[in-house]
Amino acid sequence: MDRKDSGDDFKTPPQAAADVPATAAGIENLSLNQHSQLDGTSASKTTIASGTNQAVKRVETYTSDLNLPISSTDATVVNTPLAKPLDNVKPVTRPPPTADQLTKYDTLLAKVLKWTEIPESSAKGAKQSPIREYERMFLTRECLFRYLRATTWKVDQAETRLLNTLVWRREYGTDSRTSEYISIENETGKQVILGWDINGRPVQYLRPSKQNTERSDRQIEHLVYMLERTIDLMPPGQETLALLINFAETKAGQGATLQQGKQTLNILQNHYPERLGRALVGNVPWVIWGFFKMITPFIDPVTKEKIKFNEDFGLHVPREQLMKEAKGSVNFQYDHATYWPALNKLCELKRNAFRERWEAAGKRIGEYEMYLRGGEQKPLIEVEKE
């Protein structure tokens, strides 16, 4: 299985020159407010602003050069991702954490700051290796809060699940899988990321009728890869995504097996907690209803509440950013040679901008995602000085 870095199209998350982690003693002796100096990094307002502005300009230049549309209401064919959410859509604002929740967050953060090595796999007695920079970048403030909410604010459980996710990401190759390796799975456009819903969630389409490969592990890897790209396209202030599963023209044998369904649920519920904001399932044929009945017992109650069957997609996604096949106005026609490189380049620029902001602000565990995504939020180092 080829997961080797293939160059500019999809790069393994950048690491420090030698990727040398901080020592356990060094971390334990740091207070939370001193942690900004962890890699010898000193962030200044000038450095932070410069890094942010340059990253934003690269994304804007690319979307302009490629002429990515924002919406469509006519017959013009669209075969690239859309550029950004509509101006009138805004993420749902989450209530601020309570004093007790903040205390639990601080406790979890203190535990995570002590991590220096983690297992390379989930195998018993697996070799441990230093935590890498891109893994520390994954551990944002909002990430820790997501795991706390998913475990009903049980700190020890949140720590265990968070560590298990980092191990899973290493073992599964989540951060190193290339677009070339996944490409064959998406040649027919059976998964497409296009537009944002009414709450600014990026929309990931699953179109089972476009199935083009035999059942294999790569089909699940494809789903995970596309989930990661959907997360790349989240605007500032957004933590969740929307799944739009359109079973129109789907025939028997084109849907997932029960084993694949259970494996997918395990990945989503254990390693992407609090990421699903809405799941819209439409045009469900009777042969697929049986599958949903079998898989329902494995879906946790919180996730189950977010799944809507056979509702008008246009009630949830602005029609000018919704595919015509889903009763929207976007005349989207999938062309792999156009869409696939455009999606991956756009996501690469978004990831690079995220990383550059993280580096400019001191490479902090617990950094604000709103800042990292270019929103109106000061980085952690500036908040602590206030």
The reply to whether 12 falls in a domain is no
The reply to whether 168 falls in a domain is no
Q: Which residue segment(s) compose the domain that 190 sits in?
A: 73-90+185-338
List all residues 6 or more positions away from 218 whose beta carbon is below 8 Å from its beta carbon: 181, 182, 184, 185
pLDDT number for residue 74: 82
pLDDT number for residue 25: 32
The reply to whether 221 falls in a domain is yes
- Among 278, 210, 212, 220, which residue's Cα sits nearest to residue 247? 210
The reply to whether 299 falls in a domain is yes
Q: Total domain count for the chain? A: 1
Where residue 79 sits, what CATH number does that domain have?
Answer: 3.40.525.10
In the chain (386 residues long), the average pLDDT of successive 10-residue segments reads 36 36 33 39 60 64 75 90 95 95 99 98 96 98 98 98 98 96 98 98 95 92 98 98 89 68 89 96 80 80 89 96 96 98 96 97 98 97 94
pLDDT number for residue 300: 84
The reply to whether 97 falls in a domain is no
pLDDT number for residue 109: 99
The reply to whether 122 falls in a domain is no
The token pair at 109 is: 């953060």
The reply to whether 232 falls in a domain is yes
pLDDT number for residue 250: 73
pLDDT number for residue 17: 33
Reported as half-sphere exposure (CB side, CA atoms, 13 A), residue 26 has a value of: 11
The reply to whether 218 falls in a domain is yes
pLDDT number for residue 295: 80
- Among 245, 216, 194, which residue's Cα sits nearest to residue 71? 194
The token pair at 305 is: 């509440």
Q: State the sign of the Cα–Cα–Cα–Cα dihedral 199, 197, 348, 219.
A: positive
pLDDT number for residue 29: 34
Task: State the Cα–Cα distance between residues 38 and 365, nearest whole angstrom.
Answer: 10
List all residues 6 or more positions away from 56 whose beta carbon is below 8 Å from its beta carbon: 353, 374
